[in-house]
Amino acid sequence: RLTNKWASYFPIYQRHFERFRNRPFVFIEIGCGEGGSLQMWRRYFGPFAQIVGLDVRPECKAFEQPGIQVRIGDQGDDAFLNAVVDEFGAPGIVLDDGSHLQHHVQSTFATLYPRVQQDGAYMVEDLHTAYWADHGGGLHAPGSFIQRCKGLVDEINGEWTPQKELVTDFTRSTMSMSFYNSVVVFEKGRLPPSASIMTGAGQPGT
């Protein structure tokens, strides 16, 4: 089936997704396109992965095949998203390639990111739309997901700020944020407690 992806995305996929190959996990792609990307992910991740496509178009059910399931619903409906996770289990990866409307990107992240497994990844692509007014974005627009991410940079470093309210569940569960042209990737994980480790001979400053 037809697949349409920006060539610059493939090195990003490889960097953040390679560790999931040939292991059992749930991969959720929001936005099924013409069905080709679901097949691509099935080939890439191997036979143990469960690929789940989400789309508002009922005709996308035709994309189902062994190892690929499609559920029809609106990504802005948190009840639908939670029902998908309840059905298939915590996703190892969520890839948001859906409507690209900023309110959808925001609400989908708020619902699904906390449900991604402890060592999982969450990618939002085509974020150039965060700068487009007709998608609810714009440079420094408060409703854009890019603008939200700028605040999340403070949250991931929240323990170092006087504002202890910046230490959130996001702070405690997120290991890294990676920004690329039109893409942001969040990787979950538990880092060891922040502590200075000094090794080697001699005294500090000598």
pLDDT of amino acid 103: 97
Q: Which residue has the higher pLDDT, 107 or 192?
A: 107
For 113, what's the count of Cα atoms within 13 Å in the CB-facing half-sphere? 23
Full-prediction pTM beyond 0.85? yes
Strand locations in the chain, DSSP E?
A: 25-30, 49-55, 68-72, 93-96, 121-124, 174-180, 183-188
Catalytic status, residue 104: no
Instruction: Decide if pLDDT at 195 tops 80.
Output: no
The structure tokens listed for 27 are 């991969």
Question: What distance in Å separates the CA atoms of residue 204 and residue 195, rounded to the nearest whole number?
Answer: 16
For 36, other C-beta atoms within 10 Å of its C-beta total: 15
Pair 5, 37: CB distance under 8 Å: yes
Q: Which of 16, 100, 104, 135 is catalytic?
A: 100
- pLDDT reported for residue 9: 97
Q: pLDDT tens digits, residue range 81-139?
A: 999 999 999 999 999 999 999 999 999 999 999 999 999 999 999 999 999 999 999 99
